[in-house]
Amino acid sequence: MGVILATSRSFSDGDADLVARAAAAGHEIVRGPAHHDLDELAPLLAAADAWIAGTGPVTAAHLDAGPGLKIVARYGVGTEAVDLAAAADRGIPVTNTPGANADAVADHAVGLMLAALRFIPDGDRRVRHGDWSVRRGRELGAATVGIVGFGRIGQGVAKRLSGFGPRVVAADPYLSVDRIVELGAEPVELDELFRTADLITLHAPGGQRLIDAQRLDSIRTGSIVVNTARPDLVDEAALAAALIDGRLAAYAADTLDGDTAASASPLLADDLAERVIVTPHLGAQTTQAVDNMGSMSLDDVLAVLAGRAPAHPVTR
């Protein structure tokens, strides 16, 4: 029997019983902490044959603590928290789950757009305190929406926006102009997107800084930024300053720097509550996405443990 360490909070928490599937294949699922604290994980890694890893770090030290690891299956898409070089040096394949949560995150991105444009969370707070005054919002169909990163999620956002009717522009260095047009958006350079969009939605990989103080100086006054991708794409202090001085009308995000430990973020200041919307990293948390991510990661684990190649390898 093999031991599969699962450190994603939502693994097998949907409709699919992945624990039973693993058991039917002769393997045991063992749970570990999602934050990947090495002191807590070390004894679990020591006994593990495979690791279905959440969003926490996967470092060389983690891999050294698991000498029997045959695969690290990232539960999700991003792999910036995984030391891919260290895994390759140790002969441990790394996989992810591309597209598994694309529909869920695209839905959530559009939801955050509407929430920010129409002051929905703030309106709810006001009513609960007896304040029925109205803040006048803007319609999504009247906006120019800039999509930064036009992969599966960005394309899903464009598809959903087509029913609202805004102008949709997109910047992606990995896609040709013709391909972006074919997929339903107007191709633009990144700098032009920030200069012209009323609403900017981020769907780029982490490990880069797309919005800082300098870039915020170039955006249209009163713009809205939505981030359902990664917190390191933005400078949170610069965003807070732009919200305070009015350059930015609102910021809506599914995560902040530090993720669920982000209590010190300047964006959570009380005086920004009317202009900042934050959800607790729930963009991918639908039953369908949880089942997709869990099934894809487990499929790759079972393949490797059976001596087969995984379907979704990640390379450096």
How many angstroms separate the CA atoms of 216 and 113, rounded? Answer: 19
How many angstroms separate the CA atoms of 29 and 122, rounded? Answer: 42
Q: Compute the Cα dihedral for 103, 105, 109, 111 and give only its sign.
A: positive
Burial class (CB in 10 A: 0-12, 13-18, 19+), 91: exposed
How many angstroms separate the CA atoms of 234 and 66, rounded? Answer: 34
Length reported for the chain: 316
How many angstroms separate the CA atoms of 186 and 276, rounded? Answer: 28
Kind and range of the H or E run holding 186: strand 186-187
Is residue 152 within 8 Å of 99, Cβ to Cβ?
A: yes
What 3-state class would DSSP assign to 51? strand
Q: What is the pLDDT along the chain (316 residues), one digit of tens a residue?
A: 899 999 998 999 999 999 999 999 999 999 999 999 999 999 999 999 999 999 899 999 999 999 999 999 999 888 889 999 999 999 999 999 999 999 999 999 999 999 999 999 999 999 999 999 999 999 999 999 999 999 999 999 999 999 999 999 999 999 999 999 999 999 999 999 999 999 999 999 888 999 999 999 999 999 999 999 999 999 999 999 999 999 999 999 998 998 766 678 999 999 999 999 999 989 989 999 999 999 999 999 999 999 999 999 998 7
**Nearest 5°: CA angle at 165, between 160 and 167?**
100
Q: How far from each other are the two terminal CA atoms of the chain, in whole angstroms?
A: 31
Write down the pTM of the prediction: 0.87
